[in-house]
Structure 1
Amino acid sequence: MVDELYDRLKAYEGRPAAIAAEGKDPVNSPMIRHWCEAMGHPVPEDGSAPATMLQVWTMSGLAGHGAARAGAYDELLALLDESGCASVVATDCEQEYVRVLRPGERITFDAVIESVSTRKTTALGTGYFVTTRTDIRVGGGELVGTHRFRILKYEPAERQAKAATKAPPGARRPRPVVNRDNAGYWQGIEEHRLLIQRCGGCGALRLPWLPGCNGCGGQEWDTVPAAGGGAVFSYVVMHHPPFPAFDPPYAVALVELAEGVRVLGNVIGVPYEKVRVGMPVALEFQRVDGEFTVPVFRAEEG
């Protein structure tokens, strides 16, 4: 079937979303410090901005970037809204770093509509993935990084109220994404061990698993098994949106383990409305669909 809307959307590829936009503030130490505190990262010893802070310097705030914003992106979104794809969700972003930014530097950036997908059907609904690419520069045009941001503009799938609260019979849980950086973690879970990475340089513990240490940058590491005790650091109760194989409402917690690191997992053993911050929990392992294992946390108080 010919998708006439896609042909119209495709024409926006390569058109600008922002032209010669300027960062609202120069790279500065207070923002670096606040970001590092929020992310739990140490401030770099040389005072530079962490590379992963790249997008922060492009944020427009409530006032926006004014004339720097190009009309093509707004036109594209309006076209999707008119077609019924009025809902939006951010799906992922990719960043490429050339060098770190230093206090006092001012950034400029240009953004382009890089791609629009064909019509896709997802669990949320049917729509189009739109990817923008932002090139970030300093001084006379030196490229310091590239940020790609992808959204899904979609028309929500129609669901009956009953289906919104009950998992379909025989529905299967999503599988964890296993790659070279976390394969050892998931192997440990299958063996009923929650393994925490330990930096071979500074000894810092980290979870989730990462290729290098956030503290010293060391690449060498080993693992230590979690003892199993912890407490609820924060939590949410999932009511909506529903997903196949999940039966809301249920509580998902960020658990602070006795070792000081934090991990996500469902809280079991008490009704969801009884979960509280500070509640002690104990690590257990739950087999899913007879195929893989996930960590869960059993509340230790009623």
Structure 2
Amino acid sequence: MSHDFPRNPGQPLDTSAFERQQINLRATERRAAQIATRRSVKKNYQAAWLVNAIKVIDLTTLAGDDTAARVRRLCAKARQPLAPHILQGLGIAPVTTGAVCVYPTMVPHAVDALAGTGIPVASVATGFPAGLMPLPLRLEEIRWAVAQGAAEIDIVITREHVLGGNWQALYDEVAAMRAACGNAHLKAILATGDLQTLSNVYAASMVAMQAGADFIKTSTGKEGVNATLPVSLTMVRALRDYRDATGQMVGFKPAGGLKTAKDAIVWQSLMKEEMGAPWLAPDLFRIGASSLLGDIERQLEHHVTGRYAAAHRHAVA
């Protein structure tokens, strides 16, 4: 992950930044609904938004039956996400995905497959997806993944700290994980589907950023409810408030449930409208996805040829 701005160093815990913050659920839902319905992009503009979406995808496999061969195939897709005839039809240079995201034991295979491409390897860690492991073991898992070559670490917070309002414990946990990452960038997964209220989502976002998170991320993809627009809007407003208060730029990653090209455009619209153009680049915005890329490629092929290809022609791996 290459930044042209300073990395978020964090700051001391300041509960006043969120404890008095009131989240209006109905107003948040209305604003989120506007994002999904009022912006419509067509033809070349739509193609441009979809190509940009490819550049910010963390192409992901987090299955219990992952193998080295599957990871290598995924990395091949990350290196060449669009077929040559689509690139030619669009008249653009080759693009790659923003990163490849895997389990820690798959990191060496991904690092080897992506050598020389500049595509970073992201690893989930800290007892993903539940995070219910002793903290020393979670920190050691981070260090192990970094030692294997992971450039980004997607950590999982302890939801109990949020549900119990134990903000100091949450801060200390994320700060320790940030330290364990060293030069690797930390993406803090809030598992928002488990946090019950938008006020909790806002508070957890603020604490994670104060503890030094480089990104805040909605979900593991394993919860019953993953990325939604109201939750995403709440998190984006938190990172905007944090930027305004500290001058620090923090990234955002929705994950889980984003499956269609339309989803990719909607979430990019959220970032453009709420944060501006800088948050459409991979150093400040990622989409965690596995099947999304196939639908984007299918839509781009239709743009180029006027025909929809069968889904199996655009397999992820």
Q: Is the TM-score greater than 0.5?
A: no
Relative contact order: is structure 1 or structure 2 higher (C-alpha 8 Å, sep ≥ 6)?
A: 2
Q: Which has the higher helix share?
A: 2
Q: Which has the higher strand share?
A: 1
TM-score, normalised to structure 2, is 0.19
User: Higher Cα Rg: structure 1 or 2?
Assistant: 1
TM-score, normalised to structure 1, is 0.20
